[in-house]
Structure 1
């Protein structure tokens, strides 16, 4: 479910009368400035939008016990951003126990170049974080929907924790996922000296205390400590969880160190739509996507791809492809640095107008941009479209860029192969085309069974489709057009809300 209505850039709202400062985007900027934090106008807009989302979802999800506006700004957003006074953020950086996205979301807004991974095991909060990332348009962010521990798939340069657990316990949990030289950043209260002493006693062979900064949140009496540890170039002791994660793998293993290796050539071929079509397999990347596919569509997984030091697969029926680091980097086109999944792609039957049509919307897609194909498939799954017909012009849905945009929706929606958009004619069911000169998309109900056609990026609709029913997405004056995938998503949202006539 979604916790939010349509995005609104309202500037000021009035909430509880006891709050001493009128909540609003302008008040947020004043408080940030008073605390010595400078953000651009766009960053402040994003932080204010995040605040509104947090307030809207809090009654349902109990994300924070702080309700006063000033306290939320100071104890959540300012506290998160003050870490930037003392450390440069490593990347990739895991926000361990992210909860509602603190400190990860404010830090990502302030440092958009940082590859941020929000680790949060609670499903409702995982969903909230995904909606926040999508609504704010945050790029290069992943939501890892599990508790961070020794079974984390891969290594990162940094982890940040906001009072999740004691320092020694946390060091044990992150030892396996921090690369040598990586940093563990603790946001603590003032009384953490006993934890530091215990960490020195139990973890000095594997971590060194790199820095310890005491500070006060400006304008308050709230004292804080920022404690930073550096991971040493040594093997961490194996706890029970890590021992399970690294147990002997009983399945097939293929070591690949050469570009001329036939298996590597096949895997490289899967970076193109033509290769995916030829072999009937695809590579999926991204912690959130691969985790969901393993959980929900494990029957589709045939292989597990890592570099030479990567973790073993969870299933002995999968083939483990262990690649030299340069070869793995080539396949990891998204730069996730996490294991990749090799999956068998579902069959794509040919669409025929003569075959029975399912009730609802059949979406016809000609997009040549793989990211648009992936995005529109994801929207189709979200709004309950029973099938998507990929026209001849369309990029392959399992192209790496498409699959990263679509995620598990690739397995949740019936995909079919259709004719060219130029050969698509009116059928026994109505075809409605999206076109800037049509009627408003919500002006009248949709038929119980119909086809929705989106034009090519750029050229738009071919002439034969302009003679049929067309609908448009209303836009502000002076705006020429919407992204094609975005237009389709808006139309599908309207259809899902209004249904047929």
Structure 2
């Protein structure tokens, strides 16, 4: 290793070589399980990974500190740089838990006190001040410049480790942010004694990060920084269907869904939930809404889908009770016994798409307003006609039901009644025996045991709609 590094113009002390060797052994040991690198030949690892990571500190000697290694993966260039330049404070950022677990193990075993692992992807809401950013990532330079807008200090540098053919990227980045960044260096070099050409492209930030001021808000603000806070405890309960039912509220996540509920049902929107005071409620948000400003740690706990965008606390409607004795309307009524909230959301989306008159949630069903159900329904849960039904065992025997089971008659030959209920079995247990006698089946490869319950229901609904033509 020492000889290969010296050939590249890199001289490490015996202690630094020992640290790098520990890192190399860890990378070898964990690679098979975690897929850390596609380079496995020893010489290539030393040259293309370790030397390539260290050379920017030789070609550009005034590396800033603290320095954020954006999208570090298994720790490149950050860990080799930290070994070569122990004076630097390095932040290694990656969103993948397995990678960050590996990084923490490596940093601990190598004894590198100047390194901190940042367990998240970097977005404009990341506001930890840094003097520089370095990245070997493959995304366009302009995207990276936008990504670090919340953390890179004025006069800080973004250092791109690129191949030789990046002129178009440079032009696009300079054009995208003429007032915010300027190109200061474009250093072409080669890994010594190899054909591998490299470029360091360096942009300087001309302006300070936008500082969000805790200005007077139209909304009542609650700053929540402790897990023992009663409001936060209730918010955490909304990760379960039981909590949604008990509190009568849910979390709406995702920019499009939030816009929809703000427009469709502003009176049900109780609170805007954000990471700190960034991303305030939009101007058209109803004034009675509160604004919950969570600490970054608490927001990450609550952010079920890791979108890092605000959420809305939403009052859920209570479905009316289904009364089987009342005359059924024409068309299809859908009976939903699914226990997986994502299946419930998916089947509600299909039912709305195929113009099902009523969606009857049986007692076994997951809560349709679970955040996962809302997301998989793509928001159709808010417009669907939902009714609350009894347990599966209490469905009247004389109800005109078309049930789905692998043992049934072919679905394509089914004659749908003028008014009927469609029933698919629960995930796992399937249909109770009393509904299997007259069930219908979807033809499929006999080597496959069954279809996903929501998918099977969607196919049956399609066949019903096709039969009406």
SS at match of 1:442: helix
Of residues 437, 448, 456 in structure 2, which corresponds to 1:479?
448
Residue of structure 2 in register with 1:258 after alignment: 226
> 1:196: how far off?
6.5
Residue of structure 2 in register with 1:289 after alignment: 257
CA distance in 2 between counterparts of 1:260 and 1:201 reads: 46
Q: Is residue 2:213 matched to residue 1:236?
A: no
Residue of structure 1 in register with 2:314 after alignment: 343
Map 1:38-57; keep pairs closer than 5 Å: none
**Does the C-alpha gap of structure 1 residues 309 and 434 become closer, same or farther in structure 2, counting only changes over 3 Å?**
same
Residue of structure 2 in register with 1:431 after alignment: 401
Of residues 389, 395, 402 in structure 1, which corresponds to 2:366?
395
**Does the C-alpha gap of structure 1 residues 247 and 477 become closer, same or farther in structure 2, counting only changes over 3 Å?**
same
CA distance in 2 between counterparts of 1:249 and 1:407 reads: 31
Residue of structure 2 in register with 1:462 after alignment: 432
CA contact (8 A) 1:353 1:427 kept: no
CA contact (8 A) 1:175 1:236 kept: no
> 1:291: how far off?
3.4
> 1:195: how far off?
6.7
Residue of structure 2 in register with 1:417 after alignment: 388
SS at match of 1:306: strand
CA contact (8 A) 2:404 2:425 kept: yes
1:386-428 deviations in whole A, cap 9, x for unaligned?
Answer: 2211111111112232222223111121111111112212345
Map 1:103-118; keep pairs closer than 5 Å: none
**Does the C-alpha gap of structure 1 residues 160 and 292 become closer, same or farther in structure 2, counting only changes over 3 Å?**
farther
CA distance in 2 between counterparts of 1:332 and 1:211 reads: 39
SS at match of 1:407: coil
SS at match of 1:352: coil
> 1:284: how far off?
1.7
SS at match of 1:342: strand
Choose 373-382 or 352-361, whichever is displaced more. 352-361
SS at match of 2:321: coil
SS at match of 2:272: strand
Residue of structure 2 in register with 1:318 after alignment: 289
Q: Is residue 2:245 matched to residue 1:277?
A: yes
CA distance in 1 between counterparts of 2:329 and 2:185 reads: 62
Map 1:209-228; keep pairs closer than 5 Å: none
CA distance in 2 between counterparts of 1:227 and 1:355 reads: 74
CA distance in 2 between counterparts of 1:184 and 1:385 reads: 56
**Does the C-alpha gap of structure 1 residues 354 and 172 become closer, same or farther in structure 2, counting only changes over 3 Å?**
same
Choose 342-351 or 281-290, whichever is displaced more. 281-290
CA distance in 1 between counterparts of 2:206 and 2:308 reads: 19
**Does the C-alpha gap of structure 1 residues 191 and 324 become closer, same or farther in structure 2, counting only changes over 3 Å?**
closer
Residue of structure 1 in register with 2:338 after alignment: 367
Residue of structure 1 in register with 2:65 after alignment: none
CA distance in 1 between counterparts of 2:187 and 2:397 reads: 70
Residue of structure 2 in register with 1:45 after alignment: none
CA distance in 1 between counterparts of 2:159 and 2:272 reads: 28
Q: Is residue 2:448 matched to residue 1:441?
A: no
CA distance in 2 between counterparts of 1:272 and 1:210 reads: 52
**Does the C-alpha gap of structure 1 residues 199 and 330 become closer, same or farther in structure 2, counting only changes over 3 Å?**
closer
SS at match of 2:413: coil
Query: TM-score, structure 1 length as denominator?
Result: 0.56
Query: TM-score, structure 2 length as denominator?
Result: 0.59
1:23-60 deviations in whole A, cap 9, x for unaligned?
Answer: xxxxxxxxxxxxxxx9xxxxxxxxxxxxxxxxxxxxxx
Residue of structure 2 in register with 1:379 after alignment: 350
**Does the C-alpha gap of structure 1 residues 387 and 203 become closer, same or farther in structure 2, counting only changes over 3 Å?**
same
CA distance in 1 between counterparts of 2:278 and 2:455 reads: 37
Residue of structure 1 in register with 2:301 after alignment: 330
CA distance in 2 between counterparts of 1:475 and 1:232 reads: 59
Of residues 291, 295, 300 in structure 1, which corresponds to 2:268?
300
SS at match of 1:335: coil
CA contact (8 A) 1:208 1:231 kept: yes
Residue of structure 1 in register with 2:466 after alignment: 497
Of residues 377, 384, 391 in structure 2, which corresponds to 1:406?
377
**Does the C-alpha gap of structure 1 residues 171 and 470 become closer, same or farther in structure 2, counting only changes over 3 Å?**
closer
Structure 2: state its 5+ residue gaps: 1-37, 39-68, 74-94, 98-122, 128-132, 189-198
Map 1:186-201; keep pairs closer than 5 Å: none
1:52-101 deviations in whole A, cap 9, x for unaligned?
Answer: xxxxxxxxxxxxxxxxxxxxxxxxxxxxxxxxxxx99689xxxxxxxxxx
Residue of structure 2 in register with 1:354 after alignment: 325
Residue of structure 1 in register with 2:180 after alignment: 203
**Does the C-alpha gap of structure 1 residues 182 and 412 become closer, same or farther in structure 2, counting only changes over 3 Å?**
farther
**Does the C-alpha gap of structure 1 residues 182 and 330 become closer, same or farther in structure 2, counting only changes over 3 Å?**
farther
1:168-224 deviations in whole A, cap 9, x for unaligned?
Answer: xx99977757888998999x99568777667897324xx7779799xxxxxxxxxxx
CA distance in 2 between counterparts of 1:171 and 1:271 reads: 32
Residue of structure 2 in register with 1:106 after alignment: none
CA distance in 1 between counterparts of 2:169 and 2:329 reads: 62
**Does the C-alpha gap of structure 1 residues 210 and 255 become closer, same or farther in structure 2, counting only changes over 3 Å?**
farther
